Structure 1
Amino acid sequence: MTDTAARRYSTGAMIFHWVIAVAVIVNWRIAESAEHAEAVEDKVAIFADHKALGILILVLTLGRLAWRWTHPVPPLPSDTAKWEAVLARTVHIIFYVLLIGLPLGGWYANSLSGREIDMFGMFTIPPLPVGEDSEAAKAIFGLHASGGKAFLILIALHVLGALKHTFVDKNGGIFRMLPFGKVPD
């Protein structure tokens, strides 16, 4: 019998998970607001926050990966089917690819447009040294938007999976990533 703490993620992992999760949802809403802004100046100002938060998500994700490599991940519940374990691992890998790839893609597309990223007025991140190419920037921004939509679908599936494990399978599900609640043996 393993103690509950060994079946939960570490406190650091929980903090990274929930801060990144909230930041991703907020950033999605910021992008939606920018898309619906009527005045060009409003759209540019709103997207500036989206870009800055995207870079912050990138930094947090790199911190989370460093944390994950130095702190053990709890084992999956013993009643997890093989296909569920494979699916969970695959989705987590895709999450990391998107959490790193979307901000880098956005930075790259901005760089192709010759724009720096203003980090909430504190400092700026210069464009990557790639030269300007507005057509390539447009294409990459399109891929960035498609990746964001795919990310939202995966997030919804992730949440549904956690709820299924919590309330149907009753094997701890979401409580593995929270400091409270029952995580059965």
Structure 2
Amino acid sequence: MTLKNTTHRWGGVSKTLHWLIALLILALGIVGLVMGEFPKTPKYFWIYTMHKSIGITVLVLVALRLLWRLYAGAPHAVPGTPGWQERIASLTHWLLYLLMFALPLSGWLYDSASGLRPFKLFGLVEMPKLVAPSESASQVSHALHEYGFWVLILLVLAHAGAALYHHIHQRDATLVRMLPDGWLPTPQKDSA
């Protein structure tokens, strides 16, 4: 497997960042949905700190992924893909990038504006506040964080659904080329 993207396949760096970010976002989403239900014990504050720390990690990984994509390029669409599907896929990818930046930043902004004491990234490095305490900034950033999450979920479902559609219905390599090598065979088009 090559590290750099080719014209017809994602490379190892892109695949690793894609699946690592997806896994971290899944964990953040699950924890984010249930952490308000936890009793206010020391574990509660540890969970919040971990949620924030992993969110900042996602922010850094997404920045690296975007820089890598700008450097390494992206594979061309699978031959035979209609232009409208290419345009929708491109728009979806850029909206996903936008949200993957917006969610951690809005969470960090919410933490900053809420007036809480600074949190330490994984308990080690104190994170700077982005803004002074502000009720209005706190409310707006919290709403962006919460509603942005649901928009992200919808886009991820559309993204995954499109990949499965290409694999099952179109029978092309769209999905296979982002999976680790050998996980799925490239589907063969029916010869009619």
TM-score (norm 2): 0.86
Map Cα deviations across residues 49-80 of structure 1 (whole Å, 9 max, x no partner): 11111100000001001110111211111121
RMSD of equivalent CA atoms: 1.9
Residue from 126, 129, 135 that aligns with 1:127: 129
Structure 2 Cα separation of the partners of residues 76 and 51 of structure 1: 36
Structure 1 Cα separation of the partners of residues 103 and 18 of structure 2: 17
Of Structure 1 and Structure 2, which has the larger fraction of its residues in helix? 1
Return 5+ residue gaps in structure 2 as ranges: 1-5
Which residue of the partner structure matches residue 60 of structure 1?
A: 61
Structure 2 Cα separation of the partners of residues 7 and 169 of structure 1: 17
Secondary structure of 2:75's counterpart equals: coil
- 8 Å CA contact retained: 2:167, 2:187: no
Which residue of the partner structure matches residue 98 of structure 1?
A: 99
- 8 Å CA contact retained: 1:114, 1:127: no
Structure 1 pair 40–134 and aligned structure 2 pair: CA distance change class (3 A): farther
Structure 1 Cα separation of the partners of residues 42 and 154 of structure 2: 30
Map 1:35-184 → 2, pairs under 5 A? 35-39=36-40, 42-115=43-116, 116-128=118-130, 130-178=131-179, 179-180=181-182, 181-183=184-186
Amino acid at match of 1:165: H
Which residue of the partner structure matches residue 33 of structure 2?
A: 32
Displacement of 1:43 in angstroms is 4.2
- 8 Å CA contact retained: 1:33, 1:46: no
State percent identity of aligned pairs. 28
Question: Does 51-60 or 40-49 show the bigger shift?
Answer: 40-49
Secondary structure of 1:173's counterpart equals: coil
Quick one: higher RCO (CA 8 Å, sep 6+), 1 or 2?
1
Structure 2 Cα separation of the partners of residues 46 and 111 of structure 1: 17
- 8 Å CA contact retained: 1:30, 1:49: no
Amino acid at match of 2:166: H
Displacement of 1:33 in angstroms is 2.2
Q: What is the aligned residue count?
A: 180
Amino acid at match of 1:172: A
Return 5+ residue gaps in structure 1 as ranges: none
Structure 2 Cα separation of the partners of residues 102 and 91 of structure 1: 16
Displacement of 1:96 in angstroms is 0.6
Question: Does 74-83 or 13-22 show the bigger shift?
Answer: 74-83
Displacement of 1:122 in angstroms is 2.1
